[in-house]
Structure 1
Amino acid sequence: MKIGIIGATGKAGSAVFQESVTRGHDTVAIVRDQARATEVLGDQAPVLKRDAFALTAEDLAGFDVVVDAFGTSPDQAQKHVDLARHLVECAGPKQPRLVFILGAGSLVTGEDRHLFIEEIRKAPGAEAWISIPEQQLQELAYLRTIEHVKWVGASPQATFAPGRASKPMIGVDELLLAADGKSHTTTGTMAVALLDEIEQPRHHNTRFTVGDA
């Protein structure tokens, strides 16, 4: 398959890029900064030098799958929703499947099944970065209204950090706990889960969640 990865030089995107390459897919980094792509992914990495918001329907038509691993600063968090809208508007029924890396705030936890975003808001210093999980929550809400475009979203657990892959634990909407009793997902585990889903689709126009086992 030909897989395009937006944000391929980021922590999550680079892990997805490497996993895709390892599995033998025709993998293209969709990035604004060619030099940064060379630094992170190597000088042999295929690159489409393009701002994600400048992608066109013609650009997307060249891929079987496009992964949105876009990341931004808290003051520009609204761009998570804006980019999802842009990709959906460029896509269509015969366009590539869109794969979104979402946030953990939309997961439910506790006996009352409250949204995890409620706990994130109470974290020390959260006011400095809470806009990102809040906008990722809005991104999922938007995607759930979309029926005419093929898409899937994946949420990590409470902690999402660089690390080697473990066997992915797959859920639906619940916050998951690993064997150590904590809720976490490495970028490596997320990459494995996404490529498994890309190769053998099990979720259609919905969100699933990925945790370290």
Structure 2
Amino acid sequence: MKIAVIGANGKAGRLIVKEALSRNLDVTAITRSENKSDAAKSLQKDLFSLKYEDLKDFDVIINAFGTSPANAPQHITSLMHLCDILSGKNNRLLIIGGAGSLYTNPEHTKKVIDAPDFPDAFKPTAGNMSKSLDELRKRDDVKWTYISPAAAFKADGARTGKYVLAGEEFTVNAKGESIISYADYAIAMIDEAVKGNHIQQRISVHGE
């Protein structure tokens, strides 16, 4: 299996690359600047400049794109650019999502981001990531999977080797916590890359 990781220089991207390499997968890092991940293969190119010719040989493309709150609308435009160039193709697109778009009621009318105590500082990023999922749901021409992490997404958290797979609704572990490390999230991401069980679905993961 050939996997490309867009944004491989980021904290999540590097751990996803590392996890994929640990399973002897063929990994290429796609980065805007010099490759700093463990991948031996790399393509230095801005996401918005990517064309299908750049991605055609990969079975799975993992979008680990990240940006500052000031540029938060790029979560939408970057994802739609990838969808446009992968439209009608067999390549799968996996996306690091956000927890703000998870539903908090069975009717799926309220999201985490809608809570009155949701921090204002996180709203630009969470709001635009939620909108990007709304746009993604309209795309039946792309083999996408959107994976939301837990509310507490810990960059320096330990790799326990375990995670809980959930769906569209906000869930917690036995301790009442919604938390997962980047390293454990990377395991879930590569599991989905290998298995492909949730095409055109949003799933979520949290730690035990």
**TM bucket, shorter chain:** over 0.9
2:49 to 47, 54, 71: 54
Q: Say if 1:155 and 1:210, in contact at 8 Å, map to a contact too.
A: yes
Q: CA deviation at 1:129?
A: 3.4
Match of residue 118 from structure 1? 114
Show the counterpart of 1:135.
Answer: 128
| Aligned counterpart, 2:159 | 165
What pairs up with 1:100-119 in 2 under 5 angstroms?
100-109=95-104, 114-119=110-115
CA distance in 2, matches of 1:158, 1:57: 33
2:190 corresponds to which of 175, 187, 195: 195
Tell me how far 1:21 sits from its aligned partner.
Answer: 0.6
Q: Match of 1:175, as an amino acid?
A: F
User: After the TM superposition, which parts of structure 1 deviate over 4 Å for at least 4 consecutive aligned residues?
Assistant: 110-113
Report how far residue 111 of structure 1 moved: 7.5
Query: Which runs of structure 2 are paired with 1:178-193 in the superposition (5 Å)?
Result: 178-193=173-188
**Is the CA contact (8 Å cut-off) linking 1:185 and 1:212 kept in structure 2?**
yes
Of the structure 1 ranges 185-194 and 158-167, higher mean CA displacement relative to structure 2 is found in 158-167
Instruction: Tell me the amino acid that sits aligned with residue 187 of structure 1.
Output: Y
1:92 alignment counterpart: 87
Structure 2 unmatched runs, 5+:
none
Deviations 1:120-178 (A, max 9, x none): x624xx33331000000001001100101111110011111122333110111121212
Distance of 1:176 and 1:6 partners within structure 2: 28
TM-score normalised by length of structure 1: 0.90
Is residue 105–residue 169 contact of structure 2 (8 Å, CA) maintained in 1?
no
**Counterpart Cα distance in 2 of 1:197 and 1:190:** 11
Distance apart, 1:110 and its partner CA: 5.6
TM-score for both structures, normalised by structure 2: 0.92
Mapped partners of 1:80, 1:10: distance in 2? 15
CA distance in 2, matches of 1:80, 1:129: 14
d(CA) in 2 for partners of 1:133 and 1:45? 33
Q: Secondary structure of the equivalent of 1:27?
A: strand
Is the partner of 1:109 in helix, strand or coil?
coil
- The Cα shift of 1:8 comes to 0.9
Determine the C-alpha separation between the residues in 2 that align with 1:204 and 1:110.
24
Corresponding letter in the other structure for 1:4: A
- Asked if the contact 1:19/1:192 (under 8 Å) is kept, the reply is yes
Does residue 151 in structure 1 map to residue 150 in structure 2?
Answer: no
